[in-house]
Structure 1
């Protein structure tokens, strides 16, 4: 399972169409997606963009034209989707020696919460056919496995981050009833080539996926993670993030090196209609030549961008305004998925 910073063929995105994901705030969302596409293609990258209809595809082209995105760098396909959060509905791309490659299909069940997921669950079969990847079904104990991309993060060297809250909670949003830590570690090894699973505890406040790791802790190189930290002891995120920090102390990777942990600040709480939203700088996307970071009109925007710029000295680190975007309960990383480049 390649790391996100490894060479990419394209970034996959979906043009926004489901207004219920951003109730009362949908109008600016297509412009935010347009900016993400502009950033993802700015250094020569490509985007594979799904549109639910020809009308939406035409709208996407108009928006991209207005901000002077090179149309030749955006491949638009028409495909019905329920919601189109690409991180979670896409297959897992895996690579091997001498150009070996496959896309692993995990089932998507609407985060074990929402009923409108059947079209999204069909995306892996469609996208892999379009992109020329062989597709295999992940099976464990004789049954298909449910897993979203935002639930895990890999260093490309056999280590993977995840949370107990997302994968092991037996009562709330249970993806695979009866699965144990041993089951997940076994299936990660079989289907993704993972040799070491680093288990964190809980995710951040407002995350309706129930603990996706890409809102709190991310690999930035094979030996280093950024971990969000909230110093305010009264904030809902303080205790969970401190406990996660304790879990990472003393972790050694398969190469024998200690895991380096870099603090990433949290923005002040983002609240809309009385709801705490999952605003986090950790939900960044590493794209071709860039790191695209959600920002929140917050003093910590500058700090977060500076920390990530130091960690990615060879990439442009760019912010994308996400105060409206996060009303959909996810931001840049949740909406996107990288497709690795395969040579050989």
Structure 2
């Protein structure tokens, strides 16, 4: 005969919310959250046998992450991390994900890869699945604000890559100074006497895109460049959106250059130029951002900012190791490079 509602309410294995957190385990075991993390995760420090037993008993009593808790307690490690990638179609992001997986594999760890499509609800579904798998830490490649993320960052090691979130200033971040890089790129264009310019930037809701736009506008103003109000377009971070935004901009026959928020946007602009019979770079120069690894092979016309994807991944893994070892969160800014191809 099934348990009644009253029977379930008295079950010590289920909290009122139905979700058990690492804080609940720590409280029941009478130890710190850090001690629980060290007891459950390999490579994150040692604890005494007595503490290990307390944590194991508390986790089992509370049914903490039941899908994987028993396995994690037996091995004291999942050796598994997760990555939530905002856009699997972006070649630059794919290069970072590949490098993360390679580095973790060398350490005999696995990487679960999810895609959020820049959508908060999708990201939270990914987080829900990740939390059921007892992973040791989570990387976010361009996170978005979401309720699940807020909860995750309170309990688990998290590293943001390539995009900060103003709502989570205390979370580790690995990237570049996007505003300074965009400013430097615009100045390089001004030195080439590019005066009539247009800008296609990414969504201003993205901290990275907003910083890049600020840098471009500041440098353009300082250089005395001419940017008409209708020559600044907001796009999604995609080739299709870059293509759409470029259409009306290319009606200006005096345009010298288009500066894009990332390389994906720039590819769409280039396609539109080909269809219009506009020679790139002879008649118009195109500037991107990120420097996808394939640019060297396929985009000799593209000037861009190189964000070091290999170093980005390596530094993110090192910071994750610091966090799982109970170290402090940090913001780490890596050097960028201006790439002038045309």
- Same fold per TM (> 0.5)? no
TM-score, normalisation: structure 2 = 0.25
Higher helix proportion: 2
TM-score, normalisation: structure 1 = 0.25
Higher relative contact order (CA 8 A, sep 6+): 1
Larger Rg: 2
Higher strand proportion: 1
